[in-house]
């Protein structure tokens, strides 16, 4: 261990990670996408934990499992193997909400199929910590190393404290993403409503009918052409524009 690492490990963990947490929090103030932000988060994890050669985030819910922001193609491959075999340290950390450390994959017997495949990728050590926001499990963050016994108790403490802060960031990023999707959907709904209203006005004026009849005409046009009411309304509005030219 270098002198710089000895000095940093003598600091309280919160002080040691203060700069990392500041950079992590700054991601919420940026305009980056969730995927890009998770990439930065993974890079910070690799930078924070000595001897790690790759890191990544696994997002896991009832519908799917996916890896995001992996720093190394081998991390993606190792994660993919965990999902394929339904076993491995990252899945164990996320499912059981516990910190998991593998000192030497060559001697570990907990996940035999995954371990054999990960060794073929050149990986020898791994650590995974769960991402939990409040009481909601989000997944796990993990680091890998090419050498056996690359991580120690201090490394585990670093990743555990890092994951607690990272979980808050991931939860906020997901909230922002959902809000953006919702607002986008609402904007589309308003555009559709306005388009249908305009089309009804065109039909009411063109055929001297009331609003209910005009909407019925839109429904009929959509059914006849196999399109939605919005698409039928767009066709009516476009035809009105062409007539004015």
**Could you read off the pLDDT tens digit of each residue along the chain, which spans 245 residues?**
333 343 344 445 656 666 666 666 555 545 456 777 788 889 999 999 999 999 999 988 766 777 777 898 999 999 999 999 999 999 999 999 999 999 999 999 999 999 999 999 999 999 999 999 888 899 999 999 999 999 999 999 999 989 988 888 888 777 766 666 655 555 565 567 777 888 887 888 788 888 888 888 888 888 888 888 888 888 888 877 676 55
CB–CB of 221/237 below 8 Å? Answer: no
For residue 80, the domain's CATH number is 3.30.450.80
What local confidence, expressed as pLDDT, does residue 29 receive? 45
Between CA 139 and CA 2, with CA 54 as vertex, the angle to 5 degrees is: 120
DSSP letter at 70 equals -
CA 77 to chain centre: 17
Nearest Cα to 151, choosing from 114, 100, 110, 117?
A: 100
What local confidence, expressed as pLDDT, does residue 92 receive? 95
Tell me the C-alpha to C-alpha distance, in Å, between residue 15 and each of 10, 86, 129, 161, 169.
10, 37, 20, 11, 19
CA 234 to chain centre: 35
221: tokens are 């046009």
Is there a single domain that holds both residue 118 and residue 236? no
Nearest Cα to 220, choosing from 229, 211, 208?
A: 229
Domain range for 194: 186-244
Is there a single domain that holds both residue 32 and residue 131? yes
CB proximity list for 34: less than 8 A, separation 6 or greater:
68, 173, 174, 176, 177
Is there a single domain that holds both residue 116 and residue 157? yes
Is there a single domain that holds both residue 139 and residue 203? no
What local confidence, expressed as pLDDT, does residue 143 receive? 97
Is there a single domain that holds both residue 116 and residue 230? no
For residue 224, the domain's CATH number is 1.10.10.10
Rama region for 53: left / alpha / beta (φ>0; ψ in -120 to 50; rest): alpha
What local confidence, expressed as pLDDT, does residue 216 receive? 85
Q: How many domains does the chain have?
A: 2
How many angstroms separate the CA atoms of 34 and 198, rounded?
37
pTM of the model: 0.65
How many angstroms separate the CA atoms of 97 and 222, rounded?
51
What local confidence, expressed as pLDDT, does residue 168 receive? 82
Is there a single domain that holds both residue 165 and residue 215? no
């Amino acid at each position: 261990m270098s002198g710089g690492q000895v000095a940093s490990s003598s600091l309280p963990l919160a002080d040691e990670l203060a700069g990392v947490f500041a950079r992590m929090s700054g991601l919420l103030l940026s305009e980056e996408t969730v995927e890009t932000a998770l990439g930065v988060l993974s890079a910070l994890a690799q930078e924070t934990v000595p001897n790690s050669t790759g890191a990544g985030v696994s997002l896991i819910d009832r519908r799917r499992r996916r890896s995001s922001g992996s720093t190394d193609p081998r991390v993606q491959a190792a994660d993919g193997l965990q999902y394929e075999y339904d076993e491995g340290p990252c899945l164990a950390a996320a499912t059981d909400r516990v910190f998991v450390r593998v000192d030497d994959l060559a001697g570990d017997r907990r996940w035999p199929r995954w371990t054999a495949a990960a060794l073929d990728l050149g990986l020898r050590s791994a650590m995974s910590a769960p991402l939990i926001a409040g009481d909601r499990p989000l997944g796990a963050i993990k680091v890998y190393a090419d050498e056996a016994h690359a991580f120690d108790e201090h490394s585990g403490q670093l990743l555990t404290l890092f994951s607690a802060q990272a979980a808050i960031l991931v939860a906020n990023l997901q909230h922002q993403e959902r809000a953006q999707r919702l607002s986008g959907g609402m904007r589309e709904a308003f555009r559709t409503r306005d388009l249908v209203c305009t089309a009804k006005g065109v039909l009411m004026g063109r055929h001297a009918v009331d609003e209910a009849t005009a909407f019925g005409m839109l429904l009929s046009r959509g059914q006849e052409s196999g399109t939605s009411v919005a698409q039928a309304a767009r066709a009516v509005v476009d035809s009105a524009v062409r007539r004015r030219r």
